[in-house]
Amino acid sequence: MRIKQLSLFVENKSGSLHSVCKVLAENNISIRTLSLADTEQFGILRLLVKEWEAAKNVLEKAGFIVKITEVFAIPVEDRPGGLAELLAILDRGGMNVEYMYAFTFGRNDRAVIVFRFEDPDKACKVLEDNKIDVIKPIDLFD
Amino acid sequence: MSEFVVENRIWDPVEKLSQPELKALQLERLKDCVQRAAAIPHYQRAFAQAGISADQIKSLDDLRRLPFTVKSDLRENYPFGMLAVPKSQLARIHASSGTTGKPTLCGYTKNDLNLWAELCARFLVAGGLRPEHTAQIAFGYGLFTGGFGLHYGIEKVGAATVPASSGNTDRQIMLMQDLGVDVLICTPSYALNIAEVLQQKGIAPESLCLKFAHFGGEQWTEAMRRDIESNLKIKCFNNYGLSEIIGPGVSGECAARTGMHIQEDHFLVECINPVTLEPVKDGEQGELVITALTKEAMPVIRYRTRDLATLYSDPCPCGRTFRRMGRVIGRSDDMLIIRGVNVFPSQIEEALLRVEGTAPHYLIEVSRPGNLDQIAVKVEMRLENFSDQMSEMQKLKSRIDHEIHAITGIRMQIELVEPNTLERFVGKAVRVIDNRKLKD
> Domain boundaries in chain B?
13-332, 341-434
- What CATH fold (topology level) applies to the domain B341-434? GMP Synthetase; Chain A, domain 3 (3.30.300)
- Determine, for residues A98 and B389 on separate chains, whether the beta-carbon distance falls below 8 Å: yes
Distances (CA, A) of A20 to A31, A58, B252, B398, B415: 11, 10, 58, 27, 20
Q: How close is the nearest chain A Cα to the Cα of B364, in Å?
A: 16
CATH number 3.30.2130.10 is the correct assignment for the domain at A3-69:
yes
Let me know the angle formed at the C-alpha of B329 by B172 and B98, rounded to the nearest 5 degrees. 70
Kindly report whether the peptide bond that precedes residue B20 is cis, defined as omega within 30 degrees of 0.
Answer: no
The rounded distance, in Å, linking the Cα atoms of A46 and A73 is 13
Does A99 contact B394 at a Cβ distance shorter than 8 Å? no
* Chain A positions in Cβ-Cβ contact with residue B381 (cut-off 8 Å): 9, 65
Mind telling me how many Å the CA of A119 is from chain B's nearest CA? 13
Q: Is B313 on the interface with A (CB under 8 A)?
A: no
Please, which residues have CB within 8 angstroms of residue B33's CB and are 6 or more apart in sequence? Answer: B291, B292, B293, B294, B299, B301
Cβ within 8 Å of residue B107, ≥6 positions away = B80, B83, B87, B90, B92, B93, B297, B298
Contact in structure between B412 and B404 (CB atoms under 8 Å): yes
Contact B417, B385 (CB under 8 A): no
Per-residue CA distances from A22 to A33, A51, B67, B161 (Å): 15, 16, 62, 64
Amino acid at residue number B155: E
How far apart, in whole angstroms, are the C-alpha atoms of residue A73 and residue A116?
A: 9
B418 to chain A: which residues are within 8 Å by CB?
9-11, 16, 63-65
Residue B1, pLDDT score: 46
B202 burial (CB, 10 Å; 0-12 / 13-18 / 19+) is exposed
* Residue B280 burial class via C-beta count within 10 angstroms: exposed 0-12, middle 13-18, buried 19 and up: middle
ipTM (interface predicted TM): 0.89
| Identical fold between A3-69 and A70-141 | yes
Low-confidence ranges of chain B (pLDDT < 50): 1-2
What confidence tens digit (pLDDT) does each residue in A54-111 have?
999 999 999 999 999 999 999 998 889 989 999 999 999 999 999 999 998 776 778 8
The number of C-alpha atoms within 13 Å of B219 and in the hemisphere containing its C-beta is 19
3-state per-residue secondary structure call for chain B: CCCCCCCCCCCCHHHHCCHHHHHHHHHHHHHHHHHHHCCCHHHHHHHHHHCCCHHHCCCHHHHHHCCCECHHHHHHCCCCCCCCCCHHHEEEEEEECCCCCCCEEEEEEHHHHHHHHHHHHHHHHHCCCCCCCEEEECCCCCCCHHHHHHHHHHHHHCCEEECCCCCCHHHHHHHHHHHCCCEEEECHHHHHHHHHHHHHHCCCHHHCCCCEEEECCCCCCHHHHHHHHHHHCCEEEEEEEECCCCEEEEEEECCCCCCEEECCCCEEEEEECCCCCCECCCCCEEEEEEEECCCCCCCEEEEEEEEEEEEECCCCCCCCCCCEECCCCEECCCCEEECCEEECHHHHHHHHHCCCCCCCCEEEEEECCCCCCEEEEEEECCHHHCCCCHHHHHHHHHHHHHHHHHHHCCCCEEEEECCCCCCCCCCCCCCEEECCCCCC
- B424 part of contact set with chain A, CB < 8 Å: no
Residues in B touching A5 (Cβ below 8 Å):
388
Distance from C-alpha of B204 to C-alpha of B283, rounded to nearest angstrom: 40
Homologous superfamily, domain A70-141:
VC0802-like (3.30.2130.10)
Q: What is the pLDDT of residue A100?
A: 95
Q: Please indicate whether, in this complex, the C-beta atoms of A65 and B381 are within 8 angstroms of each other.
A: yes
Topology of domain B13-332 in CATH is Rossmann fold (3.40.50)
Burial class (CB in 10 A: 0-12, 13-18, 19+), A53: exposed
pLDDT at residue number B426: 62
Residues B282, B284, B286, B288, CA torsion sign: positive
Each as own residue / partner, the long-range contacts of residues A12-18 (CB below 8 Å, 24 or more positions apart, any chain) are A12/A38, A12/A39, A12/A40, A12/A41, A12/A42, A12/A43, A16/B418, A17/A45
Contact list, B382 vs chain A (CB under 8 Å) = 65
Query: b/e for A54-69, b at 16 or more Cβ within 10 A?
Result: ebbebbeeeebbbbeb
- Separation of alpha carbons B343 and B333, rounded Å: 11
Tell me which residue in A9, A11, A98 faces B386 most closely, judged by beta carbons. A9
Return the residue in B418, B421, B422 with the most chain A beta carbons within 10 A, the one to mutate for interface testing: B418
| Strand, coil or helix: A55 | helix
- Asked if B398 is an interface residue toward chain A (Cβ–Cβ < 8 A), one would say no
- Confidence at residue B423, expressed as pLDDT on a 0 to 100 scale: 81
How far is residue B178 from each of residues B197, B208, B345, measured CA to CA in Å? 16, 9, 41
Query: Are B416 and B381 within 8 A, CB to CB?
Result: yes
Domain edges within chain A: 3-69, 70-141
A119 touching B (Cβ < 8 Å): no
